[in-house]
Amino acid sequence: MQVLLLIVVLLGLTAVGFRLGRGRAITVARGATRRLPALPRYYGWYVMLWCLLPAAAILGTWLAAEPSVLKVLVLGALPADLQALPEAPLNLLYNDIRNVALGHGTTEDPAVAAAAAHFAALRASAWPIMAAVSVAVLLAGGAFGLRMVGPRLRARHAVESVVTVLLLISSTIAVFTTLGIVLSLLFEAIRFFRLVPPGEFLFGLQWSPQTAIRADQVGSSGSFGAAPVFAGTALISVIAMAVATPIGLFAAIYMAEYAPRRVRAILKPVLEILAGIPTVVYGFFAALTVAPFLRDIGAGLGLDVASESALAAGAVMGIMIIPFVSSLADDAIAAVPRSLREGAYGLGATQSETIRQVVLPAALPGIVGGVLLAVSRAIGETMIVVMAAGLAAKLTANPLEAVTTVTVQIVTLLTGDQEFDSAKTLAAFALGMMLFLVTLVLNVIALYVVRRYREQYE
């Protein structure tokens, strides 16, 4: 809250800087602003940038550095016996101290209480310094900017080049995001593979990541053979695609070739609704309605259907994916030139024969691309399987049993209080890397196929 107030004050001062800069430009030109190389408002913006950029840089660095500096200072002031603790308990202790100092908890331990008081005092004293420094930097920057304002300053060029740099930086954020994903997954996965060899991870048949907290507990070493997890992901994705591909494809054919224009104008957005429903809603639907329904049907047929069967999760996921398949297939079918269809009609083919033997083969690459994108969607889908699929890894191809998936395992491994360095949490990153790689490859292939195909008829 204090920081927010400070930001508001800084922005207010910046606005003042804008007015001063513009006013000074007009004064310098003695009213004849046409003699200036830029419009007066550009001088205002010039001063504004001089106010804002240095102050924002200082404030950002301060806020980024504050937690680690505070930690060093607070831990440095702890009694020697506490300082001698190993890193992990020390971090826990520091968390306690922080929580007490921020009022999120209470403590019995006098050492923690003292450290928390120290923490609070440091924070309280740091805050006015930070405010003063950032305001001072802002004023200094603004004063410098104002001094520079004159008939020889080409303010528009200066402002526009700064803005261009900002635009350039924005456009690189996507690249940095990808880089961040790759690096974070890679680093944690490498740490994991130091504990568990990659061969065992990829091909091992035993997945039970429950490492114990104490080393002497029974079953203290988890086993990390992820093959059953991959198999479960594949099984659920196959079920999803078995539902989504025929329904999506036939829906696309009907909408593109048969449906009257007005029906199509209604059907298409209605089908798109399926893709817009949040996945957590599908998960709830699968767990609440579909799974019990399938279990009852199975019981009626004398089959033993698990209450978290792969079939329920896969079928619901398939429903979610229908619009992905249908809209991409629709695009691909619509892109087939009329002349091909008319040629087939001219030879006496019926409409369905034309579609099956001319249009679909011509549209096949686009359809395949769409299906591949849908597969990558199914593999990466999380909430439906977290809520409707099982937790135990089981190597089976029976859709009536409960299986688990990569995404379910990532979620269960990371949503509990666990120290971050255990093989268990690191395993989640190794699974995440596999997920990222597989979906990336699928996407690249799909985009390539779709693009190649599109060029063919353009």
Partner 1 sequence: MNDTLPTRVATAEAVARSLRRRYAAERRFRLYGMGAIGIALAMLLILFGTIFGNGWSAFRQTALLLPVTLDAAEIDPPGTRDPAVLSAADYEGQVKAALRAMFPEATGRKDKKALAELVSNGAGYALRDAVLADPSLLDRSFEIRVPASDLVDMVMKGRIRTDVPEADRPVSDSQLGWIAVLRDQDRLSLGFNTQFFIGGDSREPELAGIAGALLGSLWTMLVVLFLAFPMGVMAAIYLEEFASRNRWTDIIEVNINNLAAVPSIVFGLLGLAVFLNFFGMPRSAPLVGGMVLALMTLPTVIIASRAALKAVPPSIREAALGLGASRMQMVSGHVLPLAMPGVLTGAIIGMARALGETAPLLMIGMVAFIVDLPKGPLHAATVLPVQIFLWADSPERAFVERTSAATIVLLVFLVLMNLGAVLLRRRFERRW
**Between 302 and 331, how does the x/- string for binding to partner 1 read (CB under 8 A)?**
-----------------x--x---x-----
Among 30, 32, 68, 86, binds partner 1 (CB under 8 A): 68
CB-wise, 172 or 220, nearer to partner 1? 172
Backbone dihedral angles phi then psi of residue 207, each to the nearest 5 degrees: -120, 105
By CB under 8 A, the residues from 130 to 169 that bind partner 1 are 156, 160, 163-164, 166-168
**Interface stretch with partner 1, choices 27-35, 133-141, 146-154, 412-420 (CB under 8 A):** 412-420
Classify residue 440 by burial, with Cβ atoms within 10 Å: 0-12, 13-18, 19+.
middle
The answer to the question of residue 271 lying near partner 1 (CB under 8 A) is yes
Cα torsion through 112, 118, 123, 128, rounded to 10: 160
Say how many residues touch partner 1, by CB under 8 A.
90
Window of 27-35, 234-242, 331-339, 406-414 that interacts with partner 1 by CB under 8 A: 406-414
User: According to CB under 8 A, which residues from 183 to 222 bind partner 1?
Assistant: 184-185, 187-188
d(CA 49, CA 45): 6
Least Cα distance to 233 among 391, 398, 403 occurs for: 403
Quick one: which H or E segment has residue 207? Answer: strand 207-208
Query: What tokens does 395 get?
Result: 């190597």
Q: Which is nearer to partner 1, 47 or 319 (CB)?
A: 319
User: Which residues between 329 and 388 bind partner 1 (CB under 8 A)?
Assistant: 350-353, 355-356, 373, 376-377, 379-383, 386-387
Per CB under 8 A, the list member of 103, 260, 278, 300 interacting with partner 1 is: 278
Residue 56 contacts partner 1 per CB under 8 A? no
Residue 181's contacts (CB-CB under 8 Å, 6 or more residues apart) are 436
- CB nearer to partner 1: pick between 160 and 200: 160
User: What is the secondary structure of 286-336 as a DSSP string?
Assistant: IIIIIHHHHHHHHHHTT----TT-HHHHHHHHHHHHHHHHHHHHHHHHHTS
Q: Tokens for 431?
A: 């699974």
From the list 51-59, 113-121, 360-368, 408-416, the region that binds partner 1 by CB under 8 A is 408-416
